[in-house]
Amino acid sequence: MSHRIPTILPDAVRHYLRVYVQPTMRCVACGKEVSAQKVFMDAAGQAACREHNLRRCYSCGRFMMPEGVHLPGYEKVCASCARTMSGAKVQTLTHVVQQHLVNMGFVIPACKVTCLPAAEMKRRHANMMGIAPLGMAMNDSEPYSIDVMAQQCRAGIIRTIAHEMMHLWLFEHECKAPKVYAEGFCNLCAALVLREFEGEDVLFHLGNMMEDKNQDYGLGFRRLLSVYYNFGLNAVVAAMREYMPACE
Ligand SMILES: [Zn+2]
Ligand SMILES: [Zn+2]
Ligand SMILES: [Zn+2]
């Protein structure tokens, strides 16, 4: 396989790379000029003096200014992520995500995607531990439905919709894969969809998935990712088909 070398560096890429080579930067908290070697940086390349000890938003990875917004049932997020994404925007993203999955060869069954603020998501879906999910796919109605926690960054919402759509695809194919492969597979497809989008929050989410210590969502994802790298998506799907009834 040969890689075409782009002759023109896209502006967005140039800007993104430049952020990291500035010898001095300004702290987002106090405005002081600081040496790039002596600061903490967030996922968007913003700098802050170490002594402010700013925490990062769990959804987008940016510093939380000042201390983040508490969402019932979830970790704190920044003010920007805390704004509930509108239903219209979620529907647009849903359409684009579904198109990417179709391009990858997955026919996603018809489904209704609903975005819910954190409190409502927790009320409907929190488990006994009080932990609420970012997304939930339900196959007990016609058409199928997906609930998405709407107080996330854009990449988080894209990732959630793609992940849950792939659960519906697994339902539809009566896949009985163990949880480690089912969640790993849904995360792998979500990562492949995320790659099609730009933004620091996208890179933050891809990085998160690589570092996720969870047995199913992290380890399962990385196992299937290595199958994908070495043998391609068809091999990953073939691995999942081992757990599906044979089709004639
Ligand atoms: Zn500072
Ligand atoms: Zn955020
Ligand atoms: Zn899942």
What are the residue boundaries of the structural domains of the chain, listed by start?
23-81, 87-241
Judged by phi (left if over 0) then psi (alpha if -120 to 50, else beta), residue 174 lies in: left
Distance from residue 194's CA to the centre of ligand 1 (Å)? 33
Distance from residue 21's CA to the centre of ligand 1 (Å)? 19
- Give the residue-averaged pLDDT of 72-85: 93
Distance from residue 12's CA to the centre of ligand 1 (Å)? 27
pLDDT, residue 24, reads: 77
- Give the residue-averaged pLDDT of 166-191: 97
Distance from residue 110's CA to the centre of ligand 2 (Å)? 30
Taking the CA of 56 as reference, the closest ligand is: 2
Distance from residue 147's CA to the centre of ligand 3 (Å)? 12
Distance CA 225, CA 193 (A): 13
Distance CA 149, CA 82 (A): 11
Distance from residue 119's CA to the centre of ligand 3 (Å)? 20
CA 212 to chain centre: 12
pLDDT at 48 over 70: yes
CB 163 within 8 A of CB 135: yes
What mean pLDDT value characterizes the chain?
90
CB 155 within 8 A of CB 205: yes
Neighbouring residues of 240: CB distance < 8 A, sequence distance ≥ 6: 170, 175, 177, 181, 185
pTM listed for this prediction: 0.90
Distance from residue 201's CA to the centre of ligand 2 (Å)? 8
SS3 category, 160 = helix
Q: Which residues surround ligand 1, an ion (CB under 5 A)?
A: 27, 29-30, 49
Distance CA 78, CA 61 (A): 9
Say which residue the tokens 């391009």 belong to. 103
pLDDT, residue 40, reads: 87
